[in-house]
Chains A and B, each alone.
Chain A
């Protein structure tokens, strides 16, 4: 295959990504997000969105059911904790494996259709999984209570090595390093970096080119000698594995799994993250996930008390009006804000935040070079 070295701009992108992820505790501290619980969420949902983007961003197949794989990943990981070991590595293997298997089954059927019918099929399957988790599958999922650890769990591998956690319910630990606090974050961070790197390789590979071809012109693909189904299914399974991994990590950092993780709102969230950040771009999904999880954290913490303080400077009646209006958008109403934000992005910035950054960069460049553009004429391919 000859020289397989990545080109310079990709290496810079990867290097910058690694630095930002590793120094996130310091970098996010000024905006009040430099603590592990939140950073961990950025990383986990970043992985979820990266995988979703391989399907949606490259092939154009819009799945509305990816939360099912997230849920399956969580259940698999918790079962692995219960039956085998509190070590996160086997739990992740199971989470990825079952996420992938589940995706293979759902993808196999859903990919018989394209467009809106495909989306509806995936949505239907995910909702079915969600409902089954509450009903028939209660022995596996523990229904509404959610699947939890118990002192009586066998933990066969841990037993074999003579590990006894005593009377307390143990956290997951990697050979003695507990998956809580900063070590929990860094565990997720390393996996985020690995996932980003793999996604980069897929984007730049012949396989990735085929997936783009699928999005661009399926007719031409078929008459060019390419079998469309296995390409779409592979992308679907890969994104299911990413989702399974993300679900596994949710369980590792907080060992329980509930069916609400599979709900359609969760499926919708990853769609929003990907589109908000920039579907089909490398960084977009991670940026979208971070953005949404950050603002969710801020907005959902607001309550009427805080709002009253914010509008303290207003006379009483005006304050009450302002508080009652703005309280619609915070706390439980955060989804309303998210919806409004999403509409604005889709209408004014269809390429997502990444496109916004690019536009700013171009106009700044113009400013400095007296309207000369960014040195690239419009002919050239958009960079990722």
Chain B
């Protein structure tokens, strides 16, 4: 059984059919990439997984449970973490605090009046956060303020914040958007490392080169429909994909 199952999802914005009968099956332990030109509906689709948008019709099932209508915090507590197109971090906290916070959320649940213990004395959380920062290569900046990081480092931090929760599913929306070349390559390497450990990931990209070496399966989205779903090696030469990208250039 697949970990994430999307069936016949439709979403309209006024007159625009943003998603048209989208189907998607994401197997546990695989990386599934969704590519497509700008405006194809990729972000809209992702928003339907995480409670930001509700599809008009269709179903989204995760781990045997419907995600529709659930608030974002419950979807996260169910095991779905998300990386945003623009990194969403706690800009005025230190890196260490940025990673400890999600670790607390994982340990203590969506609300806990944990007002007496001291953050700095929570050895388990602190160690887990430090370890996660090491993992993404930010350990030496643990006491820096997150807002001062470069774009690439913010992305690493955001990944660390997701990974420290040991999610069952990691969603990434254009993880390399707006990055310099070096940062892009570093981020791709980091995602490969994470994928190699068996993390299930859904990666959204409009730049198909980013995902070719990473994905086990690729769905191509154009104007709200999945036009092709195939192995990466078969995608590149597919004439319909090329047409979508060339045709999508005017979008």
Contacts and interface: CB of A to CB of B under 8 A. Distances in A.
Interface string B81-96: 1101000111111100
Given A226-B105, A227-B73, A379-B148, A202 B115 contact: yes
A213 to B, nearest CB: 5
A265 interface: no
A136 interface: no
Nearest to A217: B90
A217 B88 contact: yes
Nearest to B118: A204
Given A207-B113, A217-B89, A231-B111, A225 B119 contact: no
Given A379-B143, A381-B145, A225 B115 contact: no
B51 to A, nearest CB: 9
Contact of B111 (A202, A216, A220, A226): A226
Contact of A208 (B82, B100, B115, B144): B115
A220 B114 contact: no
Interface string A203-226: 011111110110111011011111
A212 B93 contact: yes
B76 interface: yes
Interface stretch (B120-128, B199-207, B218-226, B237-245): B120-128
A1 B110 contact: no
Nearest to B100: A209
Contacts of A215: 92
Contact of A379 (B73, B110, B144, B165): B144
Contacts of A213: 90, 93, 101
A205 B104 CA distance: 11
B102 A1 contact: no
B121 A5 contact: yes
A209 B90 CA distance: 11
B204 to A, nearest CB: 15
Contact of B119 (A209, A222, A223, A234): A209
A97 B119 CA distance: 28
A317 interface: no
A6 B120 CA distance: 9
B97 interface: yes
A31 B83 CA distance: 56
Contacts of B92: 212, 215-216
A206 B90 contact: no
B72 interface: yes
Interface in B104-147: 104-106, 108-123, 125, 141, 143-145
B120 A210 contact: no
Contacts of A309: none
Interface in A195-254: 201-202, 204-210, 212-213, 215-217, 219-220, 222-228, 230-231, 234
Contacts of A231: 111
A202 B117 CA distance: 9
B67 to A, nearest CB: 13
A230 to B, nearest CB: 4
A224 B101 contact: yes
Main secondary structure of the interface of A (DSSP, over half): helix
Given A2-B121, A379-B148, A381-B145, A224 B111 contact: no
Contacts of A209: 93, 97, 100-101, 104, 119
A281 to B, nearest CB: 13
B88 A6 contact: no
Contacts of B72: 222-223
Interface in B168-224: none
A4 B145 contact: no
A152 interface: no
B64 interface: no
B90 A4 contact: no
A227 B89 contact: no
B161 A206 contact: no
B119 A210 contact: no
B77 interface: yes
B50 interface: yes
Contacts of A223: 50, 72-73, 76, 81-82, 84, 88
A261 B121 CA distance: 41
B71 interface: yes
Contact of B110 (A3, A208, A227): A227
Contacts of B74: 225
A381 B143 contact: yes
Given A4-B121, A206-B112, A207-B112, A225 B105 contact: yes
Given A209-B104, A223-B50, A223-B76, A216 B118 contact: no
Contacts of B108: 206
For the complex of A and B, 6 pairs with smallest distance between CB atoms: A225-B76, A207-B115, A216-B90, A227-B110, A222-B72, A206-B114
20 contacts: A1-B121, A1-B122, A3-B121, A201-B116, A204-B118, A205-B116, A206-B125, A208-B115, A209-B93, A212-B90, A222-B76, A223-B76, A223-B84, A224-B73, A224-B105, A225-B106, A225-B109, A227-B71, A227-B110, A381-B143
Interface of B: 50, 71-74, 76-77, 81-82, 84, 88-94, 97, 100-102, 104-106, 108-123, 125, 141, 143-145, 148, 161, 165
Given A1-B121, A226-B105, A379-B148, 15 more contacts: A4-B121, A205-B116, A205-B117, A213-B90, A213-B93, A215-B92, A223-B50, A223-B73, A224-B73, A224-B102, A225-B77, A230-B111, A231-B111, A379-B141, A381-B145
